A and B are shown apart, each in its own frame.
Chain A
Amino acid sequence: MGAALDAQFGIRPNACKLLKTKLGKLELKTPLAVASGTFDLENFEFFDPACLGAFVCKTITMEPKKGNPPPRLYETDAGLLNSIGLQNSGLDAFIKEKVPIYNKKLTMPLIVSISGASIAEFCAMLERLECCPEISGYEINVSCPNVENEGIAFGREANTVFHLVEALAKLTSKELCIKLSPNVSDISSIAQAAEEAGASSIALINSLYGMAIDYRNGKSFIKKGIAGYTGCGIKPIALALTYKVAQTVKIPILAMGGIYNWRDALEFIWAGASAIALGTANFINPLAAPELIMGLGEFLLAHNKSINELIGKVRT
């Protein structure tokens, strides 16, 4: 694993040292993760997995979920609209079918993203997943904009987030990362509630609300009307929220939202992110991940700085 990353840097293996980072309880070989639902084992046909510090799987729910009616996608001038609706085959199938494959294929920590319809359901899922030693941590998705009565319904209120995270923190000693929504009035208070309740890291941001309409006939391009908006158009918003939350909490931040390349990644690290994730970029450029790590590594080498020396060091 380390050797493979070395190989990517050719004669400059020192870059590997500089790229190391921590996300709560996890030591990551690189600060790069993938955003839930945008990346799976199929992507490893395109590049060497060694550039990824962590792997976040597509969000799973207790019961199988059909997902939203199509059309589910529309590409805007700057970024992508999606309305998948957490389609997945449920917790049982995940544990039985996916976890063994991930265990065999993944060389980096596996973070399982989960969404529930109640605090009790979240807890029941976590308890089941605790039986899989292959799992390194959890991303608690309280921010999906495409499902009703769960997802974002939990992430809007600091109080609800507190009670949820408090209950989950009692059940696990693994990494507990809370994924926040930008579609809230005060993200800092929600991040703070998560931290106080025992979260070990924060992931942000999930998709914004977005919409697109065919001007010729007034028809929404997305069947459900409102969708989740991701990609380069949301980068300034994600960056501002990363900065804002980094000022408020001490636990590390896994930042995402419109990161396409190593320069974007550096902006988020300056703003306070300990790690970053690629989402929409995986669709736009299948080699986005290795290119990002190469670029970031070269930058760190050139300035002889480690990631840790840059986190949150933005100057205003």
Chain B
Amino acid sequence: MIKPQYHQRAIQLREELSDNYFILWIWDETLGAAGKPGQFYEIRAVSAPITTSFAEQTIPKLYKPVSIYDNQGGRIGFMIKKVGPGTVALSRLHAGDTLEIIGPCGNGFPIVIGRRVLLISGGIGYPPLWYLQKEIINHNQIYWMHGGASQGDVFPCDEIWTEDGSIGRKGKVCDGLQAVIDKYKIDTMYSCGPQGLLKAAAEMSIRNNIEHYCSLESYMACGIGVCYGCAVPIGTPENWTYRRVCKDGPVFNAREVRWELL
């Protein structure tokens, strides 16, 4: 596996999804060959060089961890939701602008073969599962549930849930989880989304004795395992340690995440 490196790449294409979601596409065959589903990049809009920051009256900020949404033939997509200043800055970029990227970071999802797989995502947890399902679809049966606050937060999948009922079923995506597990005899789960969703899905998978890998989100500074700022409690209830989402994760076995401590 190649170690995270620093690059500047031009944005090839910008794609609008809904009010708050967009995709930035870059083109790089080397990076494309290196990236795996579940891995992420630390990305940032290159504004002024850091050395002229004072003159430009901007304060340089941290990179934002963004998972790989799609990666095919050197075409790498970052699907992004506007949530704070960093992602809003990214939302102002267009084709031709430069993106600063560090990566690929972290470990990807373990890949399975011959399973009945359930993907479950919420909001901006959608992108890494999109890349994952493209990689495993030929060797597994997949059912994908996705939930969001409203119709602007949902994307193509098998079963849609919205909290306001504006599209799909009304409620939280976890409400329908047990029925899907039973109906499709699920034996493997992958999840990504808000902590509440992951925790509920983890409890469900443990109760049903299903293998479950979840991709966690965390505030990050370095993205390469140096600062320990993104750490989460991983292990057994008696014996756990704080492990880095950026380097030891972002994918963890849901059974090992100490949800009660998060």
A72 at the interface (CB under 8 A from B): yes
Q: Closest chain B residue to A86 by CB distance? A: B228
Say whether B228 contacts A288, CB under 8 Å.
no
| CB of A148 closer than 8 Å to a CB of B | no
* CB nearest to B86 among chain A residues: A75
List A residues 186-232 near B (Cβ within 8 Å): 232
**A70-B242 CB under 8 A given contacts A42-B226, A287-B6:** yes
Chain A positions 297 through 308: 1 when the CB is less than 8 Å from some CB of chain B, otherwise 0: 000000000000
Determine chain A's interface SS by DSSP, over half rule.
loop
A74-B231 contact given A42-B224, A261-B50, CB 8 Å threshold: no
How far, in whole Å, are A40 and B102 apart by their CA atoms in the complex?
Answer: 15
Per the bound structure, the CA–CA distance linking A298 and B22 in Å amounts to: 42
- Is B241 on the interface with A (CB-CB < 8 A)? yes
Q: Evaluate contact between A232 and B228: CB separation under 8 angstroms.
A: no
> Please, which residue of chain A has its CB at the minimum distance from the CB of B232?
A70
The digit string for B39-63, where 1 denotes a CB below 8 A from any CB of A, is 0000000000011011000011111
- Flag the segment in B71-79, B88-96, B143-151, B213-221 that touches A: B213-221
Query: A285–B50 contact, CB under 8 A?
Result: yes
Cβ of B262 under 8 Å from chain A: yes
B contacts with A, residue count (CB < 8 A): 33
- Determine if B228 and A87 form an interchain contact, defined as CB atoms under 8 angstroms apart: yes
A69 touches B224 (CB 8 A): no
- Contact call A74/B219, Cβ cutoff below 8 A: yes
For residue B57, give the distance in angstroms from its CB to the closest CB of chain A.
12
CB distance from A256 to the nearest CB of B (A): 15
Alpha-carbon distance A73/B242, docked complex (angstroms):
14
Per-residue CB contact flags for chain A residues 36-70 toward chain B (1 = under 8 Å, else 0) read 01111011011000000000001000000011011
Q: How far is the CB of B9 from chain A (nearest CB, A)?
A: 15
Determine chain B's interface SS by DSSP, over half rule.
loop
Interface residues on A, range: 35 or more
Given contacts A75-B62, A285-B60, A295-B51, contact A69 B228 (CB under 8 A): no
B261 contacts across to A, CB distance below 8 A? 69
Partner of A73, one of B63, B219, B225, B232: B219
Is the C-beta of B204 less than 8 angstroms from some C-beta in chain A? no
B202-244 residues at the A interface, CB under 8 angstroms: 218-222, 224-233, 241-242
- Which residues from chain B contact A82 at a C-beta distance below 8 Å? 221, 227, 229
Write the A73-106 contact mask toward B (1 if CB under 8 angstroms, else 0).
1110110101010010000000000000000000
Other-chain contact of B59, A42, A232, A263 (Cβ < 8 Å): A232
B168 within 8 A of A: no
State whether the Cβ of B4 lies closer than 8 Å to any Cβ in chain A: yes
User: How far, in Å, is B5 (CB) from chain A's closest CB?
Assistant: 5
Least CB separation from A280: chain B residue: B221
- B235 CB, nearest partner CB in chain A, Å: 11
> What total count of A-B pairs have CB within 8 Å?
103
With a cutoff of 8 Å between Cβ atoms, the chain B residues found around residue A236 in the complex are none
- Which residue from A58, A70, A281, A285 sits with its C-beta under 8 Å from B231? A70
Contacts of B102 in A (CB 8 A): 46, 286
A80 to B227, CA, bound (A): 12
Q: Are B242 and A283 closer than 8 Å at their CB atoms? A: no
The residue from A66, A80, A291 contacting B62, defined by CB atoms under 8 A apart: A80
Query: A58 CB to closest chain B CB, in angstroms?
Result: 8
**In the complex, chain A residues whose CB is within 8 Å of the CB of B5:** 45-46
Question: B242: which of A74, A87, A281, A285 is its contact (CB, 8 Å)?
Answer: A87
B3 at the interface (CB under 8 A from A): yes
Evaluate contact between A283 and B221: CB separation under 8 angstroms. Answer: yes
Q: How far is the CA of A260 from the CA of B102 in the complex (A)?
A: 19
* Docked CA distance A37–B227 (Å): 6
Our pick among B51, B63, B219, B233 for the contact of A261 (Cβ within 8 Å) is B51
Q: Residue B225 contacts which of A40, A69, A77, A262 (CB distance < 8 angstroms)? A: A40
A274 to B59, CA, bound (A): 27
Q: A46-B5, A260-B53, A291-B50 are in contact. Are A73 and B220 (CB under 8 A)?
A: yes
B6: which A residues are within 8 A, CB to CB? 45-46, 286-287
Q: Which residues of B contact A (CB under 8 A)?
A: 3-6, 50-51, 53-54, 59-63, 102, 218-222, 224-233, 241-242, 261-262
Q: List 17 A-B contacts (CB under 8 A).
A: A37-B227, A38-B227, A42-B4, A43-B226, A66-B242, A67-B242, A70-B242, A73-B219, A74-B219, A75-B61, A75-B219, A84-B229, A263-B51, A280-B221, A281-B50, A283-B63, A284-B62
Q: A82-B227, A263-B54, A283-B227 are in contact. List 17 more A-B contacts (CB 8 A).
A: A37-B226, A38-B222, A40-B225, A40-B226, A46-B102, A58-B226, A69-B261, A70-B262, A71-B219, A80-B221, A84-B229, A84-B231, A261-B50, A263-B51, A284-B50, A284-B61, A291-B50
